[in-house]
A and B are shown apart, each in its own frame.
Chain A
């Protein structure tokens, strides 16, 4: 390693340090923006020093320069446009798309590396090939898997699990083919084997995500995020670049942690989600009305009276709120209540949304200050002191049945909504949630049901509260 290359490597280490420090600053909303800037600076350093390396090397042809610069500029334009125009509700799709292109690029780096080495006299086989095949497999699976996930989230592909006979056998066959061909690549330099690995991995990615239901997407996105990170780290091994290895490992760790958090919050094992359990789509199909349970339905005015004369209100938002685009209306209702001295906080379950932390972003966009957004562990003891718990678009995460064994959601961490002095549930119908079971909360004598679409309900509540306290 000459001194120039050494210096370049040192700059890459600096970039990697920026990534670590940037992520560290994300431990608080107050410093998170600076964290993103630090990370961005690290990225700029890494890209600039790579360009310096390319110029110093001098072997890049004119066509080569044109290809990478035009490619990068076009990619930047597309990425920037997507980032500027995306709706916050569509954030999971965008993250999924970025996972796809990141994984795809990592796979291409390895594919190119293999083709280049293979064309060398005798074909180069060595320690890097293990990482090459891993990169190709993981990157390709991530690419198609993320595209399918994005399609499901966007509604282009049905959110229902797509299951057909022999699906699992096909998956297993694809995995065997990919790994088998990859093993062959390790002993014999072979382009057809590479092609087989790529195709089998791409097909496996599709087949892996298709059977997974829309409501399991927080786990899937997190998992694919971890995959992308791993693929990038493998690409780092292939080209011997520390910045890629460190960055990939960081993302792998992040995706892994979030995957575990999400799976725990849904009370399901990762294997159960991937292989396919009771996963259904966004909306409950079987609208089973609780036979013996008596529920109390109320109108906007009655609900407004409860809210207006409370001193502490906890709002429990769920995905239904985001689906109805009611987050801005809720923020307005909260603002009206607060202006009359009522304490308002939001109780956010980890899976309230379609990706980790999604609900927080949606409420932040609606101008809700982040100190009002409380995590489950933090808010649960406070329900006992709350006069009203206002549940909007959340179902299973409030079901007290989770505390007892014997139900589909037993053991799932829930929000202790039933501890509040009174409970108002805004819901379109008595339909069941994702788990397909009745919510015992609705039969609670303290609970009143306000049957309406979330957006309309919130608007009516706000108007009614205004006339009461105005």
Chain B
């Protein structure tokens, strides 16, 4: 077993342990964004796809590089975009500015991300 392989394996095992430690602390509320975030992180395979380009000089190589780049880029960009979109929806307080009737259509609402970003100032809690 080469030194490089031992190093790689060490890194793998330690990263696995760190992952278990860090991810175990994520609350269930965020499990969908977590999975989506993990999804975008495995898009790092884009780096591997790009590196195919270094040595590919044949049609087969080019085709593999193209498909791999396409897949990995879709994974990275889509993953981060959708994670961001989801996390933007998690807010501490309901937005009083938005009338409840406007909530009826989810699709229309998600098309207007700008207005949802508005920070809500600390207003008195309605329950108290």
Contact = CB atoms under 8 A, between A and B. Distances in A.
Interface of A: 12, 15-16, 19-20, 22-24, 26-30, 32-33, 35-37, 39-40, 43, 46-47, 50-51, 53-54, 57, 59-61, 63-65, 67-76, 78-80, 82-84, 86-88, 91, 94-95, 98-99, 101-102, 104-106, 108-109, 111-112, 115-116, 127, 221-222, 225, 228-229, 232-233, 235-258, 261, 325, 327-329, 331-332, 335-336, 338-339, 341, 343, 348, 350, 353, 355-358, 360-361, 364-371, 373, 375
Interface in B73-94: 73-94
A79 to B, nearest CB: 3
Nearest to A331: B103
24 contacts: A26-B37, A27-B26, A35-B37, A54-B50, A59-B55, A63-B62, A64-B62, A69-B69, A74-B70, A75-B73, A76-B77, A83-B85, A84-B81, A95-B35, A106-B48, A109-B48, A221-B35, A250-B15, A250-B19, A257-B23, A332-B104, A356-B35, A370-B90, A375-B29
Contact of B38 (A33, A225, A355): A225
A26 B66 contact: no
B94 A23 contact: no
Contacts of B72: 72, 75, 101-102, 105
Given A75-B77, A332-B100, A98 B39 contact: yes
Contacts of A355: 31-32, 35
B103 A240 contact: no
Contacts of A335: 94, 100
A43 B43 contact: yes
B114 interface: no
Contact of B127 (A29, A40, A338, A360): A338
A251 B41 contact: yes
A108 B33 contact: no
Contact of B35 (A222, A240, A244, A336): A222
Nearest to A49: B47
B109 to A, nearest CB: 7
A51 B50 contact: yes
B57 A361 contact: no
A152 B62 CA distance: 33
Contacts of A116: 55-56, 61
B80 A365 contact: no
A64 B127 contact: no
Interface in B47-68: 47-57, 60-62, 64-68
B91 A71 contact: no
Interface residues of B, number: 97
Given A39-B41, A105-B71, A112-B61, A26 B33 contact: yes
Given A36-B84, A72-B46, A365-B110, A250 B39 contact: no
A102 B90 contact: no
Given A64-B57, A73-B73, A109-B45, 10 more contacts: A36-B87, A68-B49, A68-B53, A84-B85, A105-B48, A105-B67, A106-B42, A249-B11, A257-B23, A336-B100
A307 B52 CA distance: 62
B112 interface: no
A364 B89 contact: yes
B14 to A, nearest CB: 8
B31 A367 contact: no
A397 to B, nearest CB: 14
A457 B58 CA distance: 62
B2 interface: yes
B126 A225 contact: no
A35 B26 CA distance: 12
A14 B84 CA distance: 22
Interface in B85-121: 85-95, 98, 100-101, 103-107, 109-110
Contacts of B11: 242, 245-246, 249
Nearest 7 A/B pairs, CB to CB: A79-B78, A253-B19, A357-B31, A75-B73, A71-B69, A249-B15, A83-B81
B32 A358 contact: yes
A28 B27 CA distance: 7
Contacts of A72: 46, 49-50, 69-70, 72-73
A75 to B, nearest CB: 3
B8 A236 contact: yes
Contacts of A256: 20
Contacts of B86: 88, 91, 361, 364
Contact of A23 (B23, B84, B89): B23
A365 B89 contact: yes
Contacts of B110: 87-88, 365
Q: Which of A101, A247, A375 has most chain B Cβ within 10 Å?
A: A101
